[in-house]
Amino acid sequence: MAGRPGPHFTGNVALPSTQPLSIEVAGHGAVSALSTTPENANAALVLAHGAGAGMHHPFMAAVANGLATRGIATLRFQFPSMERGSRRPDPPRLAHAAVRAAVAAANERLPGLPLFAGGKSFGGRMTSQAQAGSPLAGVAGLVFLGFPLHPAGRPGDERGEHLARVACPMLFVQGSRDELADVALITALAHRLGARTTLAMFDDADHAFHVRARSGSNDAEVLGHILDTIVEWIARVDADRRR
């Protein structure tokens, strides 16, 4: 990608076009996907959904559309369990295979763009586990939207142990009221992981990034700040890679 202009993220981007795709997960059939690509994309993000809602969830759509207006293409996809209409999440082995298939599809569909991967909650954790097992082809960094460090009401950090084996930069976007990520624990984890980790904490936001009226903000404002944070981080990581 040497010689390609780096991301400039001016916000002057044409409205996005979203196209349906089908992605083959080796040995498990096809899953649906959506590619949202602005006319002049500067980078791409493979975006995995959480355990309880698929790629069509309003939050996932808002993230994809908001990033597109900021110059970032996204590829959302269904995990096989969601494709089947099952409420039970896939076992990690199958979820990892789906992540790898989606990353391969993004590399094929969006060649030459700086590529990142991650997702909401379960989707982000499955992406990081896949990366820890064997680096995802072409992925420059990981983005977590509410990393689920522990079950609700049972604080612990075992779910983050594999992150020590992730060598690429990581962005943790977290809410201070997230019941699946105690603030002290996620902060300590980010500190242990060192310079490759950026922690963006959003005051009063819960796991779904909802804020209370008394916070002085609202969900739309929080989402806007989250999207700006992601875009700025991607631009910084890509610039560092080009040095």
Per-residue pLDDT tens over the stretch 47-80: 999 998 999 999 999 999 999 999 999 999 999 9
Residue 210 to residue 195: CA distance in whole angstroms: 29
What is residue 52's predicted lDDT score, i.e. its pLDDT?
86
pLDDT at 87 over 90: no
Average pLDDT over residues 4-21: 57
Average pLDDT over residues 33-41: 94
Closest C-alpha to 99, from 46, 152, 143, 149: 46
Q: pLDDT of 187-232, one tens digit each?
A: 999 999 999 999 999 999 999 999 999 999 999 999 999 999 999 9
pLDDT at 5 over 80: no
- Whole-model pTM: value is 0.92
Residue 53 to residue 36: CA distance in whole angstroms: 19
pLDDT at 237 over 60: yes
Residue 128, helix vs strand vs coil: helix
Closest C-alpha to 137, from 169, 179, 108, 180: 108
Kindly state the percentage of the chain with pLDDT values over 70. 94
What is residue 9's predicted lDDT score, i.e. its pLDDT?
38
Kindly state the percentage of the chain with pLDDT values over 90. 88
pLDDT at 2 over 60: no
Q: Say if CB 114 and CB 234 are below 8 A apart.
A: yes
Q: pLDDT of 118-129, one tens digit each?
A: 999 999 999 999
- Strand 197-202's sheet: what is its strand order? 17-25, 29-37, 72-77, 43-48, 115-120, 139-145, 170-175, 197-202
What is residue 219's predicted lDDT score, i.e. its pLDDT?
97
Handedness of CA 79, 145, 187, 7 (dihedral sign): positive
Q: 15: pLDDT confidence band, cut at 50, 70 and 90?
A: low
Residue 182 to residue 99: CA distance in whole angstroms: 26
Q: What is the mean pLDDT of the chain?
A: 93
Closest C-alpha to 120, from 43, 164, 175, 70: 175
Residue 9 to residue 38: CA distance in whole angstroms: 12
Q: 150: pLDDT confidence band, cut at 50, 70 and 90?
A: very high
What is residue 129's predicted lDDT score, i.e. its pLDDT?
98
| Residue 183 CB partners (closer than 8 Å, separation 6+) | 174, 176, 201
- What domains are there in the chain, each with its CATH number? 17-242 (3.40.50.1820)
